[in-house]
Structure 1
């Protein structure tokens, strides 16, 4: 019986011969089934056949009846199914998908390229390490089933991301890594025992036959280590070479295979040196260093993104004053739930009754319990330390705060900082240099007649492997972001840490940023025939539809029932039709004030049917952590920009010691001010929280907003302070500086080590086993140095 040809797509035997074929890379390739044939044809038809050049492992076997699989995906278009895992923001939808079948970076490349060709896709980012994809699309142009079908057609199996499933996939990968490490470690010990005995003459003068026997035993023990434990290195190197590129696994693979096969030759022909112990030790230590890195990054990712594990599966639903246990994810808006002492809050809600202290450290990083009473907001994942709370559900499970944080973290990690990109590019050039020096060393010593020329070249390849260089930047960034998450600081872009170190000018908003946002009406300056109570009622009737902090000043007053045609104009104010009267409320700077001394101190003006009727003088309370924050950041230039009147702004500026301030600033004024600073080569950080701050936040080099800020401000911000704690801002700068220092230290160590060890290796001072230990320790030192950012 003749052996069957392996399927070109999945690698399984093509038992039906050439029944299923597909033209790939200019040649007819045999497939094992119609499923693999359909997948290969779909890849080629979409112009993505470079996947077969880049991949390091065969693809997963496709379904024999792929059409049935595609037909089954239509169920994911049902709204009742989507409500648990699809987030809708206007006409844009977003989902996280778990992807099975991913084996290497080429798989992630293929999926991103395939989806980018689909009309209606807004953004797609594949995290190969986590086997996940973050996808956003225009829901009116594309359905979820079409997206999933596009992924299925190229041989991968998508499913909505679920924390339990993702953790199971990680544990599966974790076990596979441990098996490779365990085998390598066990065999390394055996081979090292034999090698040490020979090197130090522990067995006395060995006869030639005994020495040959030891070599054969070492060869047998080393073979599974080389071809099982080390398989990932060769696959990665092969992928790079087929793509006409190089990566750090190229010199590693050359060194491993060259050392192994030279040992095989020496064992068979009984002449020359064997370094089986060095091969095994190299693979073992390299696997250990990469395992430590993966474990550390997984820990950082758990701190940042895997908050869903803290959400309980069940909740106490109140139905007609009776408790009914129910699934937390099935809770609906306005459901009433009971949270007892010691229980975790299952979903975001508002306290209807009860009093308790709640641990919100998961979200804010603050470990002091927060008092919760009637009217306060409680968030899913926080822990009720004492008392009993009755909550009214205010958001669906997928829109809960912990889910929002997880999504933002996924988006943040999808952005690669410039320094990381530069490091990736530099490492490629460095690998080429390593190969050049290794080859040059071999030629030089060979021409000198040195019998160790080959081993000197191997030592150069091993000792100067740029693994530490590749870990220098991503490991530091991951741990820095995890540290900030623990403190209640959420970064929407990982590259913002790099930009923070360049900031030299800070611009602050006042109302709701420096102040508590608990605005109250200090005085009303009435110049109309209406009484004060009526004017306050008109004001609240309009402001009740606004989310600006100023609107809170009128919450204590009654409203009229007939309110129509509410309108918000950025930088101008709000208006509505109340009792058939057109009411406009605007900041005092947006209109020329009449010659009315009583109105000069007004923060807000109100017009009824086009006639100015009154001005409201507002007051606010300074946030308690502002003075300390400004003191710690006194080395930077600070400017206060506010839309409030001169009197209020000057008073606040005087209280907190800011000499550079401007009052009655429109959003356009603030934007122009920041643009002027940037034109003068300043790097600007802007802190704001209102809708009117969104344009200037978008313009700033780094934008910061508060957790209680307007949604539009959050969408424009790079950093969100979850507990409105401005006092955390100096800590963000400290972490950013430390991260930059760690990256520089890592890069300096990686480059310094290589520059130091290169002449030693080229001169023949380092033996292969010395090079193995040095290279592995170099990588471990980089990871351990980065882990210190968690403290």
Structure 2
């Protein structure tokens, strides 16, 4: 029966079932329909990524009718608000670059889908869509029709996603079984045993060895052939080409040896080679999985949330300690870290972190609120439905919208070396083979194979990601939580440090507060305390903690103007507090101390004076930093504390006061135009714009849940004095990368020199190859841990 390949999926086309369309052959109507969909939507470049990249679509009529049920849909959705739904679907068929491309262009295939992001490692696609224009059932049916049917199971959804693929283990087992038995059967020829072997059983054992070599050659090594072939098709030479070529050459040469009775061949070396290379691959896989695990579970946000206790008191708790049923207090500008039910009568929530839309949504008591929303306006209370999802928060933090353009120098080095490595290696192998073939045929094949195997750049490729991953993990243990590993390289480049004053170099915990003005009665204190309850500004939080416990009353309106103050209506009374300019009270004190002025029902009452306490170790830290970096302190306050700071801080420190949030951003921009590489350290509230503008933005966390997506890292306030340590550690991490690059290249040079001269057997090369990977990984682990302790 004549067959040819389907243009879409690559399966054999049986002539009796062939569907011919647009001068192309398809195996079924499903594949032809998918091609039509792509063609009508100008997406036929899908087929440019890989020949026959699609999967055969399944017949799914009626299969997903249950996705009309709102209760089922709610369980599957990550996020559900009017106009925006977000769902993550597990798609087992994701396997190549063309899959990623088509799945990230779903909006072109179906109106209503706004974005789709693929997580290739987890084989998941996260789809954001408008429920008024499309629905989950239609999306699932679309995915199925183009060959990417999702796996949906409410009970086993998570279990399915993390199912372990044991294929590599099976391949290693097959290779090891054949390798061991072939070695055993080869002993008589190794030791040149006489008549018994030669006369009766030599031929039988040689063909038995050949039979044992077939499973490793065709099954265990199959991935290398597929990868090499796809690499040749895409005209991008990868390292699997010389490996596959080496295996094929050894197999063909060994078969010829047995056929013409030249010897037993190299089947033992070939099976050993496959076994050790797969062992190296398993090690590399375990390494990446280890890093992934550490990132998912250790890089939680060191932010706290206010928990309302059963007796009505409030206490800060870490987000990962939140449990189902807890009652939380969410202030203005705070991130909602978990899904829950709104208890307060009303709340206004900004879901721009999730949807990209900055329009606030009004929620009523009893309605569901989702993790990732930001509370706007007056304080709200909610009850927790699920414990915190760290991976979900990390996903929001790492949203492409908030990424900065960072130059990945180490990636460029790896890419450049890899681009020229394989062609140069192939050229060297063929030249060496050509020279040796005229001297000694056996040595020529040994040299050719050994060169192809020993120069594997796996260790080279593993250097940067493993080093940075390990450093990221160590920094997380020491309470600096970075957005991703690439931030470390940018940290190493920093030459200018800009610090916010209030809440950054000053601490919220050790501040003496005094009151100047008309004494406040108990009713006025109650109004003031309740107005402050919704604010997240460092001064507001300090004053709120300073004031005595008061009965909670309803806040009918709340507005916080960043950098100025608060206006609220509490129990029918107006409360205004903030700077003297905001209250239009011009009797600013001559001592220029930090003050919060109070006005109730239009009458000025007085002000609370803050005697700032600077963080422990501030002077020592600035003294260390001043030797290597330009230092700047930016403050929105008046310059009343200029003399104190001038005494405390190094002479070269630049002090800038009276800076509004937009002026802080402009100052960072001004430094960058001078060629400075700026790191901004702030509290994440008044500094959001400056953190976003800076090359690296670090937010200080001290019992506040102010989350800025533009920041690149969150530093626990107790580690403030170690900023110098983190900067040195990042520089040492880059030094480790360059040292391990050198070590990997040195290994390749030494290995190749032995291989070219014929002094390295293929089996030895196969053993050395994974050992080099182990060496590099061990080296970067030891060095990064050494620098961490140093």
Within the alignment, does 1:245 sit opposite 2:236 as a pair? yes
Counterpart secondary structure, 1:376: strand
TM-score, scaled to structure 1: 0.77
Aligned to 1:359: none
Within the alignment, does 1:228 sit opposite 2:219 as a pair? yes
Q: What pairs up with 1:68-79 in 2 under 5 angstroms?
A: 68-69=62-63, 72-75=66-69, 78=70
Counterpart secondary structure, 1:715: coil
Distance 1:513 1:595, change over 3 A: closer
Within the alignment, does 1:403 sit opposite 2:346 as a pair? no
Distance in 1, Cα, partners of 2:499 & 2:216: 60
Is the 8 Å Cα contact of residues 684 and 700 (structure 2) preserved in structure 1?
no
Write the deviation string for residues 640-659 of structure 1: whole angstroms up to 9, x where unpaired.
Answer: 22223333465467557785
Write the deviation string for residues 456-512 of structure 1: whole angstroms up to 9, x where unpaired.
Answer: 332222222222222222233333333334444432233111101111222222322
Within the alignment, does 1:156 sit opposite 2:148 as a pair? yes
Is the 8 Å Cα contact of residues 57 and 104 (structure 1) preserved in structure 2?
no
Per-residue deviation, 1:22? 6.1
Distance 1:351 1:584, change over 3 A: closer
Is the 8 Å Cα contact of residues 37 and 109 (structure 2) preserved in structure 1?
no
Aligned to 1:691: 685
Within the alignment, does 1:375 sit opposite 2:370 as a pair? no
Write the deviation string for residues 710-735 of structure 1: whole angstroms up to 9, x where unpaired.
Answer: 76652121112367643564554355
Which sections of structure 2, spanning at least 5 residues, go unmatched?
330-337, 341-369, 372-385
Per-residue deviation, 1:215? 3.2
TM-score, scaled to structure 2: 0.78
Distance 1:217 1:759, change over 3 A: same
Per-residue deviation, 1:699? 0.8
Per-residue deviation, 1:190? 1.6
Distance in 2, Cα, partners of 1:649 & 1:524: 22
Within the alignment, does 1:283 sit opposite 2:267 as a pair? no
Is the 8 Å Cα contact of residues 348 and 401 (structure 1) preserved in structure 2?
no
Aligned to 2:774: 780
Distance 1:22 1:639, change over 3 A: farther
Within the alignment, does 1:766 sit opposite 2:752 as a pair? no
Aligned to 1:350: 307
Aligned to 2:470: 479
Per-residue deviation, 1:739? 3.4
Aligned to 2:333: none
Is the 8 Å Cα contact of residues 36 and 63 (structure 1) preserved in structure 2?
no
Distance in 2, Cα, partners of 1:89 & 1:524: 45
Counterpart secondary structure, 2:164: helix
Counterpart secondary structure, 2:215: helix
Q: What pairs up with 1:319-398 in 2 under 5 angstroms?
A: 350=307, 352-353=309-310, 374-378=313-317, 382=321, 391-392=326-327, 395-396=338-339
Q: 1:639 aligns with which of 609, 628, 632?
A: 632
Distance in 1, Cα, partners of 2:454 & 2:684: 55
Q: 1:682 aligns with which of 676, 682, 688?
A: 676
Which sections of structure 1, spanning at least 5 residues, go unmatched?
311-346, 355-372
Per-residue deviation, 1:767? 2.8
Counterpart secondary structure, 1:775: helix
Counterpart secondary structure, 1:664: coil
Counterpart secondary structure, 1:618: strand
Distance in 1, Cα, partners of 2:78 & 2:45: 32
Aligned length: 721
Per-residue deviation, 1:776? 2.5
Write the deviation string for residues 241-291 of structure 1: whole angstroms up to 9, x where unpaired.
Answer: 221222111221111122212222222233377221222112111111111
Per-residue deviation, 1:225? 0.5
Distance in 2, Cα, partners of 1:401 & 1:619: 39
Counterpart secondary structure, 2:686: helix
Within the alignment, does 1:19 sit opposite 2:43 as a pair? no
Aligned to 1:437: 428
Q: What pairs up with 1:138-149 in 2 under 5 angstroms?
A: 143-145=135-137, 147-149=139-141
Counterpart secondary structure, 2:427: helix
Higher alpha-carbon deviation: 767-776 or 537-546 = 537-546
Is the 8 Å Cα contact of residues 603 and 645 (structure 1) preserved in structure 2?
no
Distance in 2, Cα, partners of 1:673 & 1:689: 17
Aligned to 1:63: 58
Counterpart secondary structure, 1:102: coil
Distance 1:419 1:135, change over 3 A: farther
Per-residue deviation, 1:752? 2.1
Distance in 1, Cα, partners of 2:322 & 2:530: 37
Per-residue deviation, 1:686? 1.1
Counterpart secondary structure, 1:705: strand
Aligned to 1:755: 749
Distance in 2, Cα, partners of 1:546 & 1:263: 78
Distance in 1, Cα, partners of 2:724 & 2:87: 34
Per-residue deviation, 1:427? 1.0
Distance 1:449 1:782, change over 3 A: closer
Aligned to 1:547: 536
Write the deviation string for residues 344-363 of structure 1: whole angstroms up to 9, x where unpaired.
Answer: xxx98825249xxxxxxxxx
Distance in 1, Cα, partners of 2:81 & 2:706: 12
Higher alpha-carbon deviation: 650-659 or 758-767 = 650-659
Q: What pairs up with 1:255-266 in 2 under 5 angstroms?
A: 255-266=246-257
Is the 8 Å Cα contact of residues 74 and 80 (structure 2) preserved in structure 1?
no
Write the deviation string for residues 58-93 of structure 1: whole angstroms up to 9, x where unpaired.
Answer: 86553223x434655444xx3774367514699766
For the aligned residues, what is the CA RMSD? 4.4
Write the deviation string for residues 626-646 of structure 1: whole angstroms up to 9, x where unpaired.
Answer: 567657656443332222333
Distance 1:648 1:235, change over 3 A: same
Distance in 1, Cα, partners of 2:163 & 2:390: 25
Distance in 2, Cα, partners of 1:421 & 1:219: 43
Distance 1:269 1:96, change over 3 A: same
Higher alpha-carbon deviation: 671-680 or 251-260 = 671-680
Is the 8 Å Cα contact of residues 520 and 554 (structure 1) preserved in structure 2?
no
Q: 1:418 aligns with which of 408, 418, 423?
A: 408
Aligned to 1:603: 595
Is the 8 Å Cα contact of residues 92 and 138 (structure 1) preserved in structure 2?
yes
